[in-house]
Amino acid sequence: MNNTLQVPNCAGCTNAPSDRNLKANLAAVSGSDILRRLVGIPIQTWNYRSDDTGVRHLGPMAQDFFAAFAVGTDDRHINLLDEAGVALAASQELYRRQLANEQQIEELKASNTALQAANTDLEKRLTAVEEKFKKLALRQH
């Protein structure tokens, strides 16, 4: 396997080499850190100066991306694998947070149900005390 970009015989298709055997110095990333950095990058629509103004693109500027993540060869280009890696890491972190939020919501629902039951019990007990108090007050008059 070589490590060059492949352009298969289909319109708009490219295959970037991403084989584990081609890579070295692997290091884990923090999804929270990636997400925190990503939120600070402006995402804008724009056109290349050489394109008609009606041809719009969407994405970050290379300088902002490089300043946030320090990946790639320079601050004028964004490697599509790096951009995809950031998006995937951020998606994974958002999914983890969603699961944690869903669990917290279920715990809060259960706590709320227990508190409602305790409140109903206290209301019944208070009503009983009030009835006894009224009876005592009537006896004293």
For every one of its 141 residues, what pLDDT tens digit does the chain have, with 9 covering 90 and above? 466 766 667 766 788 889 999 999 999 999 999 999 999 999 999 999 999 999 999 999 999 999 999 999 999 999 999 999 999 999 999 999 999 999 999 999 999 999 999 999 999 999 999 999 999 988 887
Inter-residue contact 34 to 93 (CB < 8 Å): yes
CATH of the domain at 58: 1.10.10
3 found inside a domain: no
Range of the domain at 75: 20-140
Convert the pLDDT of each residue in 90-101 to its tens digit.
999 999 999 999
Under 8 Å CB-to-CB from 72, ≥6 apart: which residues? Answer: 62, 65, 66, 78, 79, 82
Q: Is residue 33 part of a domain?
A: yes
Count structural domains, the chain: 1
Output the CA–CA distances (angstroms, integers) from residue 100 to 93, 97, 104, 105, in the order listed.
11, 5, 6, 9
CA distance 113 to 91: 33
| 85 within a domain of the structure (yes/no) | yes
Round to whole Å and give the CA distance between 34 and 119. 44
Whether residue 8 lies inside any domain: the answer is no
